[in-house]
Amino acid sequence: MSTLDSLARALRAGETSSEQLTREALSRIAKSQLNAFIDVLPERSLEQARAADQRLAQGDPSPLLGIPIAHKDIFVTRFWRSTAGSRMLADYVSPFDAAVVERLAEAGMVCVGKLNCDEFAMGSSNEHSYFGPVSNPWDLSRVPGGSSGASAAALAAGIVPASTGTDTGGSIRQPAALCGVTGIKPSYGRVSRWGMIAFASSLDQAGPMACSAADCAKLLQSMAGFDPRDATSRELPLEDFSRGVGRPLASGSVSRPLLGLRIGIPRQWFAEGLDAAQRTVIEAAIADLEQLGAQTQAVSLPRTDLSIPAYYVIAPAEASSNLARFDGLRFGHRAIETRDLESLYERSRAEGFGPEVKRRIMVGTYVLSQGYYEAYYLQAQRIRRLIAQDFAQALSECDLLLGPVTPTAAWLKGAMQDDPTQMYLADIYTLGASLAGLPGMSLPCGFVGQPRLPVGMQWVGADGSEALLLQVADCYQQATAHHLARPAAFC
């Protein structure tokens, strides 16, 4: 897979055109057996590509101009359907673009289609989509992770050089790890949620996915920024996320570019439950980081185990509220054979939502109901505050935290379908950063087993530390080659 820089150079040198790159991406989509795309409009994509070629011919220096991208189908788009992976919105076409789509289009990127996802972003395997499960390109019998599974799978298979995802409890980091690509969840409020179909409003955050940290930095540069249309958008200081990319952290130190970096290793992330092979790979990556000059130290996140119950109270509660609008009248699928208004509501929602979405709506409605609100929802919010304090304490002792993204590598399709609790446990290492609103990223660090499956390591930083995370990740990727590996069937 070509980097965004190499594609930009080729476009400016006249070695290729945006139209040619777009046609190649559309051809790969048509041939793919991953079930990664929900909607593709070749003529609309080619129209955008020709407009990009005109801007290139006029000398427009925009670094992403003319490069193809695909968007997770949780972002609304004009022309392409915006389904959120649900029957409820199977034929919906938005009259406007989401802020993320809008900003990347202004940067000149060409949309080649909408990517499959777990229904309303609820899932960890991309098996909960009305449009069918997505396959992991490293082994088609395995899941790519979720809910941004198709965003990661399309990258790993070389179909597109960039994609967008959303992360509520790990849905960028986890599929990036299972598919061997790079993804970053920015600090909460860094990227506008306007036009992103809501799951849990206090947790949802958009972010970029690509084949390297350097590419993620370029994408995040265009995606980030305050948006007055989004009530959760924050006026954070303007950043150049690429400012440290390509340079060592320690000035003048080429062989040890991470000299002076303090990495915290949370004890709870390496306790019982982490697969032994995964642990070996991540410990080898830690040794590589020490060779690059980083200093490691043990830290504690004592309430890690509480992140699962806290998240699975807060997120379903917010989902119950957000999805109330899909009633067959204002929005969404409308049942045909109904007797009265009540049966219209009941049948429309019963037909429109899948099993996982129904499960979370019911849990959320229960914890918000009279008599249970204080016992469950408010208590979960108190625990959330304590988890955030744990991260603040740990990050006061070091520059960033490092650990696994998932307890295991990609599992077989259907292996957890009958046990949703087991699938929820797969998010044990990613939920804390989401609850605390902190930036986190996943990058490849090795492989396990046969078939050969990628392993990702997770880095979490303090609020607003995306530039540091990206610089450190780039230093690691300059010294290793894990992020360059691709599935044999897609090379």
Residue of 151, 171, 233, 320 marked catalytic: 171
In the residue annotation, 2 being an active-site residue is answered as no
Residue 227 CB neighbour total at 10 angstroms: 21
Alpha-carbon span 326 to 334, nearest angstrom: 9
414: Cβ contacts below 8 Å, ≥ 6 apart = 127
> Residue 457: which of 227, 288, 245 has the closest Cα?
288
- Asked whether the CA dihedral 308, 313, 314, 318 is positive or negative, the reply is positive
173: Cβ contacts below 8 Å, ≥ 6 apart = 167, 183, 185, 405, 430, 440, 441, 442, 456, 458
In the residue annotation, 147 being an active-site residue is answered as yes
Q: Which residues of 106-143 are buried (b: 16+ CB within 10 A; e: fewer)?
A: ebbbbbbbbbbbbbbbbbbbbbbbbbebbbbbbbbebb
Amino acid at 340: D
**DSSP 8-state class, residue 264:** E
Q: How far is CA 374 from CA 318, 334, 381, in A?
A: 15, 35, 10
Dmax (CA) of the chain: 76
Residue of 72, 114, 218, 413 marked catalytic: 72
Alpha-carbon span 65 to 59, nearest angstrom: 11
Amino acid at 135: S
Q: Strands (DSSP E) along 362-413, which ranges?
A: 400-404
Residue 92 CB neighbour total at 10 angstroms: 16
Q: Helix or strand or coil: residue 404?
A: strand
Q: Strands (DSSP E) along 171-283, which ranges?
A: 182-185, 205-210, 262-266
Helical ranges in 292-427 per DSSP H: 307-322, 341-352, 355-368, 379-396, 420-425
Rg (CA), the chain: 21
Residue of 147, 151, 187, 222 marked catalytic: 147
In the residue annotation, 171 being an active-site residue is answered as yes
Q: At what angle do helices 42-57 and 18-31 cross, to 10 degrees?
A: 160
Which residues carry out catalysis? Answer: 72, 147, 171
